[in-house]
Amino acid sequence: MAPQEPEEGECTGAAKRRKAAAATDVSMELDILDCPVCYHPLRPPIFQCAVGHVVCSSCCAKLPDKCHCCSITTGYNRCHIIEHVVDSTKVPCMYSNLGCTEKITYYEKEDHAKVCPHAPCFCPEASCSFYGSTVELVEHFSAKHKWHSAKLSYNKAFRFRIAQGSTVLMGEDGHMFLVNMVVEAAGGVISVFSIQPHISESNFMCKLAVSCPEKSYAQCTQFQTRSSNLFDGLPKDCFTFVVPKLLLRGTSTNVTAMVSVTLIPP
């Protein structure tokens, strides 16, 4: 007897059940999706032995014909079902608590974190544990540490009187820069750098000028800024400009030394 075709209502019901099941949240131990040899997340192509023990393609190329787990010598074959599983497993970004709403394929989670715009920057004060987005960091600097902040137009000089401490400059496109001065034996040491979550070579050029009419002093230099997320505090290896001590506030009642910062985008 030929098998009966399912009625139309039965097909519709099965489709609805599959759709409902697909929308159901599933919990699982994600480490089962890691290669048991190198412990990195499995990503296609994935291979398995005859028993079903899986291994990533990189480790498969390095292993002998024997399975790493059961020593069966039949070699490895592609495991398409696990490839489908890892391709369909989505996880939240590790910075979801900082505002990222993306769902990322499990094996791409680390790659996404390296470029996620919601990755944090840190307060460089040694006694402060605050971290957050650049916008949150600006608010923190102003409210907690009373650092002066101002908006900056690119290719236009921003001038202010030389003083010890930090000044936060916000570019018109949301980039944040920090102008910092500390007093050392040689004088005032000024540094300018970009604050962003992912440390890289900044493409911004900075034109830094210091002038003091009372002392007939004027110096100007130009350099490429570096970037930092401030995890280790203020960067120590960025370009610095030394201002002579006689130009610093408190050394003369008539000194009105000014610093001018011009940031030039790529």
Write the pLDDT tens digit of every residue in 87-125. Answer: 999 999 999 988 899 999 999 999 999 889 889 999 999
Locate tokens 């101002």: which residue?
Answer: 150
User: Whose structure tokens read 């750098």?
Assistant: 193
User: What residue ranges define each of the domains in the chain, with the CATH number in brackets?
Assistant: 29-88 (3.30.40.10), 91-119 (no CATH), 121-264 (2.60.210)
CA 226, CA 98: separation in Å to the nearest integer? Answer: 24
Report the distance separating Cα 34 and Cα 51, nearest Å.
18
Q: Which residue has the tokens 């890289």?
A: 200
Q: Output the furthest CA–CA distance in the chain (Å, rounded).
A: 109
Residues lower than pLDDT 70 in the chain: 1-26, 200-202, 249-255
Q: Provide the token pair at 120.
A: 């944090």
Do 194 and 202 form a contact (C-beta atoms < 8 A)? yes
SS3 at position 150:
strand
Integer Cα distance of 199 and 197 in angstroms:
6
